[in-house]
Amino acid sequence: MLFKTDIAVVGSGIAGLSFAIKLAEERPDLEISIFTKEKSDSGNTKSAQGGIAVVLDHKHDSFESHFQDTINAGKGFNDPETVKMVVEQAPERLNELLEWGSNFDLSSTGEFDLALEGGHSFNRILHKQDFTGLEIQTKLLEKVASYPNIKLHSQYFVTDLLIKYWRGIPRCIGIRALDLSKNILTEIKNRVTLLATGGSGKLFANTTNPSVATADGVAMAFNAGAEIRDMNFVQFHPTALYEKTPGGLFLISEAVRGYGAYLVNKDGKRFLFDHDRRGELATRDIISAAILKELSNSGEKCVYLDCRHLDQGMFARHFPTISKNCWKKGINLKTDLIPVIPAAHYQCGGIKVDKNGQTSLKNLFASGECSSTGLHGSNRLASNSLLEALVFSHQAAKFLAPGIDEIDSQRGSISMESRSKNSDQNKISLESLRKRLKHLMTYELVYLSPVPAKKSALEELKLMRNMLVEKFDNNCFLLEYYELRNLVTAAYLVLEHAVQFEQRKQPECRKAY
């Protein structure tokens, strides 16, 4: 296929789709191409259960409170100006979602049914039962389909960024993408590239992330020379449904604890109050650490969510996805406890961007989980992620719309077909390395192990990277190769930044406004 496009958007979650819609509205003359390595509805957006944090009840709540809750959750590593911008834009971005067709649950009075989640001082979470992300992504995809200047290309895995130096300054001039259906690698030149590739949860054995969360955006941006920061800020969600076999785990939403569920140990004790006065409404980092300490002391494999005291009919209506999944697993919420463990959930660091989503490379932008905006600090406040993606995609589109004509157009593409055999033996070798990577990367290594242990792991990652380079070259057309290459790169960054973090002095939490 011959590609001619002005804008390449990599990723079809809330960040990529909302950016494309905004830019298409402002500039119907531009050709916008969205590339996604699986189906257009793959990724983390559709899995977002809880909702989107927006201050609407100004009689009780305030922007200042949302600001301070975000700063407190992030341990003061947030950028205050970014936090202020995001929380104050929230109502306007919400109105756009409503205009684009998204629906949220209403109370009996006809007002938005605002939920409470851990770390929030007030009820400010808009939701659609427990499938808010799916609701938003479905409506955004329908909206995207209404624009003739937006083209969506599924089964295209973007492997690298194309970089050209002009007077010593690097700039992104396009992408290299692997057509997974035809085994063709294509270089596609354009004016601007937006990375909206999601996170890196598949670094870890236990994660709530989908299979596509392989740190692709961060790795390709790093390989191209873009600045990456705070990759050691990996958030573990405290309540993933425990399975005896490690892998992708089903998420039990933050909102379940906000609804009134208890977190208990094997003896039925609500142990969180031993660690934080907020108990089940503490932030995710505090609860995850408390669970792991409890498991270390007890030798047990999991702790439990107790929903037995809740109105079961109301709970099932409020959380239909969770209720159905538990039922399939043989868990009767009326009589049984839900076994849960912490699992890798969200990448708080990533590609450094400014308030307009610009990276350190000219003509390269990033939005969503792959970016590091300064909003989250060391730990994301619940339901701030969908909001962040909307705000920064809005900022990027608003910034680009009037000035994109000044960027030289080099539209066009060249392709090459695979000249090598993607053997089953190669796939086996890659899977073996991937298993070793997951065994290496743990919560304990990132957050609890001393610096020498981290440095030893870094040396192993160097060897792994060299092995990949020696065994596979640019003529390898395997998805598994590119994903593993990206994961190893991200793992190295996580541990390298963790070592650097040991030398940093932690800032005090900043005051609101």
Per residue in 7-49, pLDDT tens? 999 999 999 999 999 999 999 999 999 999 987 666 667 667 7
Spatial distance between the Cα atoms of 210 and 201, rounded to a whole number of angstroms: 8
pLDDT band for position 505 (cuts 50, 70, 90) = low
> Which entry of 257, 284, 380, 510 is annotated as an active-site residue?
284
The pTM for the full model equals 0.92
Q: What percent of the chain has pLDDT over 70?
A: 92
Calpha distance 282→287 (Å, rounded): 6
Mode of pairing for the β-strands spanning 338-347 and 156-166? unpaired
CATH number of the domain located at residue range(s) 418-502 in this protein: 1.20.58
Maximum pairwise Cα distance, the chain: 69
Q: Which letter does DSSP use for residue 409 in this model?
A: P
Mean pLDDT of 115-123: 93
Domain range 238-344, its CATH number among 3.90.700.10, 3.40.50.300, 3.40.50.150, 3.40.50.880: 3.90.700.10
Q: What letter represents residue 91's amino acid?
A: P
User: Could you state, in order of their start, the residue ranges of all structural domains in the chain?
Assistant: 7-232+348-415, 238-344, 418-502
The Cα 217–Cα 197 span in angstroms is 5
Q: Is the dihedral of CA 320, 321, 327, 332 positive or negative?
A: negative
Q: Which two tokens stand for residue 230?
A: 């705070």
Residues 6+ apart with CB under 8 A from 313: none
Residue 164's Cβ-count burial label (10 Å; 0-12, 13-18, 19+) is: middle
Collect all residues with Cβ–Cβ distance below 8 Å to 378 and sequence separation of at least 6: 74, 75, 77, 230, 233, 285, 348
pLDDT tier at 112 (50, 70, 90 boundaries)? very high
- Which range among 44-58, 118-132, 293-307 shows the weakest confidence by mean pLDDT? 44-58
How many other β-carbons are positioned within 10 Å of the β-carbon of residue 138?
Answer: 16
Instruction: Considering only residues 244 and 475, tell me which one the structure prediction assigns the higher pLDDT.
Output: 244
Query: Got the DSSP string for 115-137?
Result: B--TT-SS--EE-STT-HHHHHH
Q: Backbone phi, then psi, for 462, in 5-degree steps?
A: -60, -45
* pLDDT digit string, tens, across residues 234-285: 999 999 999 987 778 999 998 899 999 999 999 999 999 999 999 999 999 9
**What is the spatial distance between Cα 390 and Cα 428, in angstroms, rounded to a whole number?**
40
Q: What mean pLDDT comes out for the span 316-337?
A: 94
Q: Which amino acid belongs to residue 154?
A: S
- Between CA 309 and CA 215 the distance in angstroms is 40
Does residue 277 carry a catalytic annotation? Answer: no
In the structure, what pLDDT confidence band is assigned to residue 319 with cuts at 50, 70 and 90? very high
Using CA atoms, how far residue 281 sits from 47, 56, 210, in Å, is: 22, 21, 26
Look up tokens 């604890």; give the residue: 257
**114 or 254: whose pLDDT is higher?**
114
pLDDT score recorded for residue 246: 72
Quick one: pLDDT at residue 12?
93
Identify the CATH number of the domain defined by range 7-232+348-415.
3.50.50.60
Tell me the pLDDT tens digit for each residue of 328-378. 999 999 999 999 999 999 999 999 999 999 999 999 999 999 999 999 999
Q: Which residues, other chains included, contact 58 with Cβ-Cβ below 8 Å and sequence gap of 6+? A: none
Q: Are residues 478 and 430 in contact, defined by beta-carbon separation less than 8 angstroms?
A: yes
Residue type, 62: S
In this predicted structure, the answer to whether residue 506 has a pLDDT above a threshold of 70 is: no
**Any idea what the Cα angle at residue 427 is, between residues 13 and 491, rounded to 5°?**
55
Q: Supply the pLDDT for residue 504.
A: 72
Supply the pLDDT for residue 1: 62
